[in-house]
Amino acid sequence: MASPQRETLHQRRAESQASRLAREVKALAAAGDAAAARERFAELISTQQARANRIAFAYLRNAADADEVVQDAFVRVYTHIGEYREELGLEQWFTRILVNRCVDAVRARRRREARVSPLLLERDLIPARTEPPDRRLHGIRWREAVTRALRYLPDRQRVVFAMCHYEGRSSSEIAALLGMREATVRVHLFRAVRKLRASLEAWRDTR
């Protein structure tokens, strides 16, 4: 396993490369060289794809939804590349776009679920009461309980928790990427952890 120092250095190098490529895409698009801009943008995508997928999946807990949101976020970056502020750095700008698309996707999904069945959300919150026949089934039920608990966190708490626990980001890094104060990030994280613990303890108590 890579050390935290190596991971941080790798992240900084990737961020530097992504920012350089974003500057080049912006310049090429402004010059009217669409073919070269698209070629550079494909390189930029390769620097952000894996990380974007991790964030979106941690946020949405659905691979198909996450893939759709990531692709949409990349399209938005490309079509609005002229608005890219180079002093922010590409990763910070892209992360904000991606998180906003995740928030929109969650809200749209909730509206769809409410239309399809008003009882769906209530039903999903009711834990299974039957004892699983083996550890594998217990593990599946536990992951489902975690997914439900994450789904019902407020949007900002969910994304802060995901970036901290799935990406290993520090509170200062999350604050910079999301445009928040570090103290606000810590409050969101504390509340997310408290709510998750309460939800999962309630799930255990019903078994």
Q: What is the CATH number of domain 127-207?
A: 1.10.10.10
Give tens-digit pLDDT for 82-111. 999 887 788 889 998 998 888 888 777 766
pTM for the full model? 0.62
Which backbone phi and psi does 93 adopt, to 5 degrees?
A: -65, -45
Q: What pLDDT was estimated at residue 35? A: 92
* DSSP category for residue 80: T
Average pLDDT, the chain: 78
Report the C-alpha dihedral over residues 76, 77, 82, 83, rounded to 10 degrees. 90
Query: In CATH, what is the architecture of 6-124?
Result: Orthogonal Bundle (1.10)
Q: Where are the domains of the chain?
A: 6-124, 127-207
The region of weakest confidence among 5-19, 33-47, 81-95, 148-162 is 5-19
- Note the pLDDT tens digit of each residue in 166-188: 777 788 888 888 888 889 989 98
